[in-house]
Amino acid sequence: MRPLANSGWKAFQQTRSLLPRTTRRFAGDSHGSHHSEPVNESLGKGFWVTLAAIPTGALLYNILASGEKPFITRWIESYGHWQNKWAETNALRSAYIQQAREDRNIIVNSKYRGPSELNGAEVFNAGSPYNVPAGHGINLDKLVEHYEIKSREVDAKIASNMRAREEAAARERLS
C-alpha cells in the first residue's frame, strides 16, 4: 500500500510543477504624475425609470381603487371563497362525525339479539339487475314474509320473557 501512496505523491508533485505560473506585473497602474481627465457621468436609465415609476404607480393605484376598497384589497379578497368552501366542508365533516358517534353509541348500547337466519334477502338474488330476461328473476316476497313473521315471533318471545322477569322481580320486591 505504501508504494501506491508514494507514487501518488510523486505524481502530484510533478503536476504541480507543470502548472503555469503567472508572473505579477505592476507596470500598468501608473504613468507618471499626470491624472486622467474627469468624466461626466449621467444618471443612467435606472434612475429615470425609478423616478417615473413612483408617480405612475401612485396614479394607477388611485385610478384602480375605484369604489370603497382599494384594488389590492379586492384582489386578495377574490381568493376568499376558499375559506367559505373549507368552512362548509368542515361543518359537513363535523356533522358526519357527530352522526357516526351517535350511531356507534346506539349500536354499542343495544342488546345483542343473537344471529339472524336471514341477514338480507338480496343474498338469494345476487347478480346484475340489468339484462335479465323475463321469468329469470326470483320473486322473494314469500321468503321475506316468512322470515319477517319468524322475526316477529322471536321478538314477541323475547318481550314476553322480559315481562315475566320484570313481574318476578316485582313480586320479589313486594315479598
Cα diameter, the chain? 135
Per-residue cell: 114: 343473537
19 pLDDT tier (thresholds 50, 70, 90)? low
For residue 54, the SS3 value is helix
158 CB-near residues (< 8 Å, 6+ apart): 113
- 29 has a pLDDT exceeding 60: no
161 CB-side CA count, 13 A: 6
Please report, to the nearest 10 degrees, the dihedral formed by the alpha carbons of residues 82, 87, 89, 95 taken in order: 180
Per-residue cell: 86: 373549507
23 pLDDT tier (thresholds 50, 70, 90)? low
Give me the pLDDT at residue 20, please. 63
pLDDT digits (tens, 9 = 90+) for 47-92: 999 999 999 988 887 777 666 777 778 788 888 888 888 999 999 9
137 CB-near residues (< 8 Å, 6+ apart): 125
Give me the pLDDT at residue 48, please. 93
Share of the chain above pLDDT 70, in %: 74
- Rounded Cα distance, 60 and 42, in Å: 29
**pTM for this structure?**
0.28
- Rounded Cα distance, 116 and 122, in Å: 15
Residue identified by cell 505560473 is 21
Please report, to the nearest 10 degrees, the dihedral formed by the alpha carbons of residues 61, 66, 68, 69 taken in order: -40
